[in-house]
Structure 1
Amino acid sequence: MHINNMTNLYQSPRIIIREFLPEEQQTFLNLFKDAEVIQYLPETSAERYIEMFKELLENYEKGNLSRWAIFDTTNNNFIGMCVARIFVHNSTQIEIGYVLSKEYWGKGIATEVCKAMTQYCFANTNIPEVVAITDLDNSGSQNVLQKSGFERRDNLIRDNEELAYFIIKREQL
């Protein structure tokens, strides 16, 4: 799925979502060092995170869906990362997700990121639905998705794990 080449995906008075720069690999990797931050993420090796960073840079060049950096516009601090990708369970849907540094939890940033990513996906593709999945225990992210207009559906099973499944349709925006 080809997306117009765009360095900045979204900007508000609080945050900017933009492409990672090649020299920001360590910034990206540091996000995944906090045990609380990765608590609900699928287990991944350090090598896989390095691979992910290489892939996201390649995706920018190809104009594909990818992972993007989230920065604080007031002090340029790194907040986290968000992703949009073709949903592995249904190629007519795009899955979004995010990972935020702990100091940015509970400030409404995740909701802003979800809304921005959803709008980006609908504006730049013709897909009818955006979806998101969370760990069943991740009530914080589930609340964020519902605040962002997503509807909870029946749980999904992935790799023998039950996950909460959320969806928003284009016509709901």
Structure 2
Amino acid sequence: MKGFPLIETDGLILREVKQDDANDLLKYLSDKEVMKYVGLEPFNSIDDALDEISWYKSIFEKGTGMRWGISLKGQDKIIGSCGFLNRATQHYRAEIGYELSKEYWGKGIASEAIEAVISYGFKELNLHRIEALIEPLNLPSQKVLERKGFIREGLLRGYEYTCGKFDDIYMFSLLKQDFIRKKDR
């Protein structure tokens, strides 16, 4: 397996998350507002962050996903993550997931990272479909995806059991041809 890919955008570096980044992850993944729609309880310890980093490594090694740490160009601090999970190579699809430290919300950073990861997925991983599962109350995330061309396909009732409750989830998708068509405009 080749090494973890680095993605550079105008303002961001998307890179592999290392154990040295655990404190950065703990900072934003312990924030209740950041974790509100992630489906996990806010992190309490450095061990929680190290477990998350181990999960990132394991999905990359298994080929079921990849998660990039988001950092601003010129700074090495991880302020969020974005990437793929539940990759089904035989079906040419994967699910996208992301989160960002609250202090960076509303600055276009998530949008820039998502755009780069989507592009990587279609061009480098040869995906045909990228899915996103979003809680109905997570309106900012829905808006970001819709601006990227994702279509809301429907409501999956009681789809996830997280944090002691069943959650309804909207299924969004973006197909490769829609992404290419949008790029050509």
TM-score class, shorter-chain normalisation, is 0.7 to 0.9
Partner residue, 1:146: 146
Contact 2:134/2:141 (8 A) holds in 1? yes
How far, CA to CA, are the matches of 1:104 and 1:139 in structure 2?
Answer: 17
C-alpha distance in structure 2 between counterparts of 1:63 and 1:163, whole Å: 25
- Greater shift, 45-54 or 90-99, is seen at 45-54
3-state SS in 2 of match to 1:83 = strand
SS in 1 for 2:34: coil
Matching residue of 2:132: 132
What amino acid sits opposite 1:169 in the alignment? L
Separation in structure 1 between the aligned mates of residue 51 and residue 68 of structure 2, nearest angstrom: 15
Asked if structure 2 preserves the Cα contact closer than 8 Å seen for 1:86 and 1:92, the reply is no
Q: Would you say the 8 A contact 1:5–1:63 is kept in 2?
A: no
> Structure 1 counterpart of 2:152, which letter?
R
1:164 alignment counterpart: 170
* 1:161/1:51 CA distance change after superposition, 3 Å: same
Alignment of 1:66-145 (within 5 A): 66-86=66-86, 92-145=92-145
Gaps of 5+ in 2: 161-165, 180-185
Matched pairs, number: 169
Q: Which structure 1 residue ranges, 5 or more long, are not aligned? A: none
Q: Which amino acid aligns with 2:173?
A: I
Name which of 20, 24, 29 aligns with 1:27. Answer: 24
Cα distance between partner residues in 2 of 1:32 and 1:23 = 15
Describe the superposition over 1:108-143 as per-residue Cα deviations: whole angstroms up to 9, x where unpaired.
111111111111111222331001111111110000
State the TM-score, normalized to the length of structure 2: 0.79
Q: Identity, % of aligned pairs?
A: 28
Q: Map Cα deviations across residues 34-78 of structure 1 (whole Å, 9 max, x no partner).
A: 111111111347466532211223444566522220001144443
Question: Within the alignment, does 1:52 sit opposite 2:52 as a pair?
Answer: yes
- Alignment-mate amino acid for residue 163 of structure 1: I
CA distance in 1, matches of 2:107, 2:13: 15
CA distance in 2, matches of 1:133, 1:60: 20
Runs ≥4 in structure 1, deviation > 6 angstroms? none
Shift of 1:164: 1.7
Flag the structure with higher helix content: 2
Q: 2 CA distance for matches of 1:98 and 1:85?
A: 10
